[in-house]
Each structure stands twice: as structure tokens, then as C-alpha cells.
Structure 1
Amino acid sequence: TYSLLPALSRRLTEELPGVDFSFRGEMLAPDQVEALRTGAIDVALLRPPAADLSLTVHTLRRDRLVVAVPVEHPLARRKRLRASDLAGADLIVHSADRRSVMYDVVLRLLRDAGVEPHIRHEVGETSTLVTLVAGGLGVAVVPEPVTALALDGVTYLPLAGADARVELAVAHRADRAEPHLARTVGIIRAAH
């Protein structure tokens, strides 16, 4: 959401001035699904799958995956990478314990390329992940919009392969039909 949220938050407050929007920091998809279920949040931007029949989920786009690499890392000299190029590299990934969708995406991508992942750090937030890359602690596979986090010490390299993508979706409870909620979801879908 790094490339989407700044413009989206402005547009929502302009088009729905009577609605008080509150934005939460990074939440992994399972936490978002639970928060939608309990009513703690009304709308979520998440990475599917969100296998919950009580939710309506609309795919917004399929983001390319890129590799965040410390600028001093040998891989940083390359123009593009393949998943197989990450063999032996220290990896920084989203947390498996917190059931991150990106954790599963990255591990599947590497294993499909015959690479046994060497995970050095697991984190809960993407901003922390990129900060650790900037610190030279490893490389990370991330959705392309994360490149909006332009930190000194990090370069982003394209990841070759047609299947090197991950979906972004908007979700809300299926039993909710308030006009302001429908309008919010419509604005989000139009803004993707």
C-alpha cells in the first residue's frame, strides 16, 4: 500500500468529507481478516488469500515482485535477478509465526526455483524488513510498490519470471452494505 495509500487517503477525505477515516499501521492478512470479522476495522487492503466466506474480496491488481538488496551486496551489481540467484543469500522475510502471506509466496517462489531458503531474520512489518536490508543484514523479496520506501543503502532489482507476482485486494464484511462503506470500497477500486 506504500504507493497507494497517500493518494487514496487524500481522495477518501475529499470525496467523503463527513466520514472520519482512521488508518491502521501494517497488519498481516490474517490479522486483517480477524479485525474485519470482529468489526474492529471496516475495510482492509490485503494480500490474498483471505479464505473467509463472511468477506467480500475484490482483487485490485497483481504486483510484480522485486528484490531489495543492500547497495554493497554483490547482487546489487546485477540489472535483474532470478529466484535461483538467491541461493545461499541471507534472507529477510515476513514472519511465519504471524501467518504472513508474503512468507508463503517467497518460500514457494524459491523452492520452485530449487533454492533452499537461508532465512536470517523474520519480521512483522515491511518497513522493518527494508530497514534491515539497508543495514546490510540480508536481501528480501517484496512487492514492487515497496520501492516507494526509498531508504539509503537499498537498491531494488526486478525479479524475472511471469509468476513473480502477488495480488493486492480490498476486503470488507459481506453482510455490510452501508452507503459510506460501499462508496469507500468503490473509491479504492477506482484508485488501484
Structure 2
Amino acid sequence: MVRGRSGAGRPWVIGVLVLALAGAGLGLYWFQPWKLWQDETVDEALPGVVATSPPPAAGPAPSPTRDAGPRTLAGGELISHEHATSGTAELVRLADGSHVVRLENLDTSNGPDLHVWLTDAPVKEGKAGWGVFDDGEYVSLGELKGNKGSQNYTVPADIDPSRYTSVSIWCDRFDVSFGAAELARV
């Protein structure tokens, strides 16, 4: 008498399918590939800049003072690293003495766990510059608000911004720079 194997291999197949689905779910969560097709545009005004209407015709226009508003201390063009990135990064001192890093006309890929870092690392072209920003000192100024537009990132009051020479759009999940700018003093 010959006995058949009714269902003997089924638990193994189900186990493999469960592992494959769990692996696919984890991979999707980790890589978040849909973000490559999702743009988030954020357009913020520079803090402390107030739009004013023209003065009345009867009197002279008030003359602005040199230190009345924000002042750019350093800046540079963003270069591409892991993903195509363009725009500018500026270190700006506000009228109250606080500092912000301003990204203007930013255009980069969206991705998981992106942050704006103020760093002391030199900006290097190409693959040589992808992973240097976590080698020295850096300060995370927060999550990237959007992968397109103009945005402000507050520098904490206890940080001396003159100690830092570059800005990186850093992917914490994969330890890689999407793009960076050297902060040349103005």
C-alpha cells in the first residue's frame, strides 16, 4: 500500500510565504521607495523680514539701518551627493542675535529620515563626499521640512555657528548625504 503525502509540504510553503511577505513589508518600510515620487514643497519667509507697504506720499521714506534685519554671514551652492540636489544654503543672523540656516530654492529627492545638519566637514564632490559629514562635529537642526522650496532651520542658542563650515541634507537611515554646501563667509 502506498501512502500519499497529503499536505506534508504545505506548512513549509506557508512559512516561506509568511517570511517573504514580512521581508517585503519591512523592506518597504525601511526604504520607503514611494517617497521618490512624492514632492513636499515648503516656502517659508525669512524670520524677521516683514513686508511693508509704501510710505504715505506726505513724508519721506524711513531709511533702513544696517543691523535692523537679518544678515547673511555665510553661504554657498548645494552640490549633489547621493541624489541630485540644487539650491543654496545660508547662515543668517537675525535681528535678535539668533541664527538660522536657510535653504533657498532647494530641489532634492525626498527620502526617509532626512535631516539638515550644520557640520565642520569639508564638502567633497562625488562619492567621496557622501559619508564624511558624520565623521566630525555636526548639529542636527531638525528633519527636512520639504524636498523643495525655501526653508529655515533654527540653530540652537548654545551652538556657536562660526565653528561649522558646511550644511548637509543627511539621510540618518542610510548614513549618506543627499547634498551639501560649503558655507563661505560673506
Question: Which bin holds the TM-score, normalised by the shorter protein?
Answer: under 0.3
TM-score (norm 2): 0.22
Q: Counting helix residues as a fraction of each chain, which structure ranks higher?
A: 1
TM-score (norm 1): 0.22
Q: Which has the larger radius of gyration?
A: 2
Name which structure has the greater RCO, CA cutoff 8 Å, separation 6+: 1
